[in-house]
């Protein structure tokens, strides 16, 4: 079998959304989210298991109700730069907002990580749905959906242009001729668009993989269209087999319609495997994890994130779900709309909405090693994903998966037994982008 599963690791630190009780786990250091050694150890364990990437999420707004990991965590690119010096093969994917960063700054930071890591950097492009973030950047209002996604598309285009500032052979460094730079191979961008004006050039050469890999996560119409145009990796929810397969087919179709090769976009679904010696023990542990995290007050606060950190504690829990549709446009619109629609259809109270959206939903990847491997194989061969973005409760769960499930996937020819190359692009099977100026030159010469 030539098509292989890709695996990424998404560390939780002391607990993100839906893992409210993780910080209480005795095996989790209470400072894990700001301890670089925690991330280095997670990356090294994933690299030992031949995972494709370490994935770091981020946000830039909090209040006291936010999950423990959000309250006190390292900035992604600083973190990944440190991890890069302690790893050799695993990709390093960091989250950064196109809404609250300038393209030149992002191009330089991710380009630097790409050089530091030897060509293993990836950028997870987000538009930010925490409305409070705007006030941390001197803005009164959060941008609406259309503006955020239009800005994101232009930001990626500008950044890719900046990453092409130097052609690959721009630095002959010829001592005899006294020529360090070939000035004809250095190109200003001179971009003037709707959202940005950036002259360039960037003062950084291309890395061994040409450009960092562009990742994106979005299920809205705007998010899917952005993915089809620019993404090389996608983080998808993967809530159910049918939903995952429909999303996979839709993104691949949109990618082809955008004139791109659908094989050049890798879709990673979220997966939270729980593996034990037999199915019953794994299911029991999965239920235990749910109850460790099922804090009603925290769930009320978490509900507000989709509506711009709206405070739902102000409402009567047993009254009909409040009319907050106007808050969805500048928050997490897709998730907020889903909540509103279900509440209206079922005539649900606020309490019922909180309970409904936080009821126990067992991951499909729970069971004995063979059970989990069987499920992964069935989903993969049916066209629901190219890879899984794995989140484990703690190191025990990571070890169970690595030691018991990965060997089964390798034995079935579904997962690599060695890295294909030294860059993230090589390991994902993605092409190195040809420098646009070199391509133009070659076209003229032809």
Binding residues for FMN: 58, 95, 149, 220
Cβ neighbours, 10 Å, residue 441: 14
Q: Is 116 helix (H, G, I), strand (E, B) or coil?
A: helix
Nearest to 42 by CA among 68, 17, 9: 9
The pair of structure tokens assigned to 176 is 């005899």
Nearest to 96 by CA among 140, 42, 133: 133
Please write down the HEC assignment for all residues of 26-94: CCCCCCHHHCHHHHHHHHHHHHHCCCCEEEECCCCCCCCCCCHHHHCCCCHHHHHHHHHCCCCCCEEEE
Say whether the peptide bond before residue 203 is cis (omega within 30 degrees of 0).
no
Q: Report in angstroms the alpha-carbon separations of 293 from 300, 339, 429.
A: 13, 21, 38
Nearest to 217 by CA among 302, 137, 122, 293: 122
Beta strands 274-275; 121-126: pairing state: unpaired
Per DSSP, the residues of 350-418 read HHHHHHHTTS----SSEESHHHHHHHHHHHHHTTS-SEEEE--SSHHHHHHIIIIIHHHHHHTTSS-SS
Nearest to 82 by CA among 19, 139, 119, 38: 38
- Given a contact cutoff of 8 angstroms between Cβ atoms, the answer to whether 52 and 424 are in contact is yes
The pair of structure tokens assigned to 112 is 């630097």
Residue 388 phi, psi (nearest 5): -125, 130
Annotated binding-site ranges:
58, 95, 149, 220
Cβ neighbours, 10 Å, residue 108: 17
């Amino acid at each position: 079998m030539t098509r292989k599963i890709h695996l990424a690791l998404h560390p939780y630190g002391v607990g993100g959304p839906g893992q409210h009780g993780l910080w209480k786990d005795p095996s989790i250091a209470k400072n894990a989210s700001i301890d670089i050694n925690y991330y280095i150890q997670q990356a090294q364990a994933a690299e030992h298991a031949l995972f494709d990437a370490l994935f770091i999420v981020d946000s830039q707004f909090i209040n006291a109700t936010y999950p423990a990991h959000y309250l006190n965590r390292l900035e992604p690119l600083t973190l990944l730069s440190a991890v890069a010096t302690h790893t050799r093969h695993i990709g390093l994917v960091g989250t950064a907002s196109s809404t609250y960063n300038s393209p030149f700054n992002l191009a330089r930071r991710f380009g630097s990580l790409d050089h530091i890591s030897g060509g293993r950097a990836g950028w997870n492009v987000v538009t930010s749905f925490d409305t409070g973030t705007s006030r941390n950047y001197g803005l009164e209002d959060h941008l609406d959906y259309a503006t955020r996604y239009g800005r994101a598309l232009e930001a990626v285009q500008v950044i890719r242009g900046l990453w092409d500032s130097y052609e690959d052979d721009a630095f002959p460094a010829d001592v005899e001729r006294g020529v360090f730079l070939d000035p004809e191979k250095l190109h200003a961008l001179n971009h003037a668009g709707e959202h940005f004006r950036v002259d360039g050039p960037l003062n950084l050469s291309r890395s061994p993989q040409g450009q960092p890999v562009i990742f994106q996560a979005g299920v809205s119409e705007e998010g899917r269209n952005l993915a089809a145009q620019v993404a090389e990796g996608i983080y998808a929810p993967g809530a159910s087999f049918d939903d995952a397969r429909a999303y996979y087919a839709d993104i691949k179709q949109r990618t082809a319609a955008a004139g791109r090769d659908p094989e050049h976009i890798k879709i990673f679904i979220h997966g939270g495997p729980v593996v034990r010696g037999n199915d019953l023990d794994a299911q029991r542990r999965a239920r235990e994890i749910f109850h460790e995290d099922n804090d009603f007050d925290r769930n009320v606060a978490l509900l507000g994130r989709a509506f711009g950190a709206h405070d739902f504690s102000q409402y009567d829990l047993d009254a009909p779900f409040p009319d907050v549709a106007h808050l969805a446009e500048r928050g997490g619109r897709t998730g907020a709309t889903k909540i509103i629609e279900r509440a209206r259809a079922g005539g649900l109270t606020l309490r019922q909405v909180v309970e409904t959206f936080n009821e126990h939903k067992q991951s499909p990847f729970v069971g004995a090693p063979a059970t989990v491997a069987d499920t992964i194989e069935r989903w993969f061969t049916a066209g629901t994903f190219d890879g899984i973005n794995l989140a484990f409760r703690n190191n025990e769960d990571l070890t169970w998966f690595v030691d018991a499930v990965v060997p089964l996937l390798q034995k079935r020819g579904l997962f690599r037994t060695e890295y294909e190359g030294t860059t993230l692009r090589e390991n994902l099977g993605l092409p190195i982008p040809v420098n646009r100026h070199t391509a133009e030159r070659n076209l003229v010469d032809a």
